[in-house]
Amino acid sequence: MNKTIIIKLKAAGSRLSKFSIYDDMGNLLASDVPKSQLISGLAVVVADTVSVIVIKAEGNSCCNKSWNIPVTTIKQYQLAAIQYQERNTASLWTHLKNPVIYNKYYDCVKPYIIEYPFAYKYQDEILQSVQDYTKAYKYFPDPDGISDDNRKIETDDAWFNKAVLYNGQQSTGVLELVPKPINNLKEYLKYPLYNAESKTITFTKSDNFYQYNTFWSLVKYKQEPLFVRTCESLSIDKVVNQANMDYGKRSFKKEPLRAKELKVRHILDNRFDAHLVSQFIITPSQISYK
């Protein structure tokens, strides 16, 4: 036998917008439920044996948060009297309590982003490659639970996993960075990989420089913006306007990055156990003559 229950939201933070509803057996009851619908009241049909409803927040900024709500019986006038309240709880951040964890807050990996601006002289210059001198450390747990510089190693494969190179009219879009396969020519020849919203290229480490060079401008329309404002985290100032990027394969029309300025944006958002100490970066280029 089945029963109908009504789920009504009493309070939530302003950044929560959509939810998924499950029963205590893991069965999906509803997905992409807007917050406004839960505020008004959502009716779902469940088995008589269900005693708990699981509400899961959707979106990258929600960190897979979920709440277990017991199924209870209330009178109709009590249900109608429930008034929604928006609650945003302030909290105090505590950093570096665990010496092996970085860029992880409330169990969520948050991006570490660093952007370098370059200005050239009188003539335009064409970017040839990017060489970044960054030290990547991995720390080992300390018995005392404090940061210990003696319990670390410098690695060669832990680095930024994304890059965006751009100027006023050109952009590479999102470049996914992966280490170059060593002693495996077949695997290496698979790159670059063309994804729906990124292009995957390889990087190498030589003479303590991380470097890569497989890029060109992917902008469709120079009359459209290269970036848009993010709605997931206000701490991130901008994200690539994917609607204006063409990640398809190109045997021709590979427009080099050519201008009197350049910005290199490096992003780490797929791990939290690497401590990146950025030293400096160079962008070898050549003068472009017309």
pLDDT tens track for 93-102 = 666 667 677 8
Span 73-89, mean pLDDT?
Answer: 80
Give tens-digit pLDDT for 153-200: 888 888 999 999 999 999 999 999 999 998 888 888 999 999 999 999
In the chain the first and final C-alpha atoms are separated, in Å, by: 79
The answer on pLDDT for 120 being more than 70 is yes
Of 34-38, 176-180, 279-283, the one with minimum mean pLDDT is: 34-38
pLDDT class of 210 with cuts at 50, 70, 90: very high
User: In terms of Cα–Cα distance, which of 252, 284, 260, 271 is closest to 101?
Assistant: 271
Q: Domains in the chain and their CATH numbers?
A: 2-86 (2.60.40), 104-287 (no CATH)
pLDDT class of 50 with cuts at 50, 70, 90: confident
Contact 151, 163 (CB under 8 A): no
What pLDDT was estimated at residue 7?
86
Report the C-alpha gap between 184 and 186 in whole angstroms: 6
What pLDDT was estimated at residue 100?
75
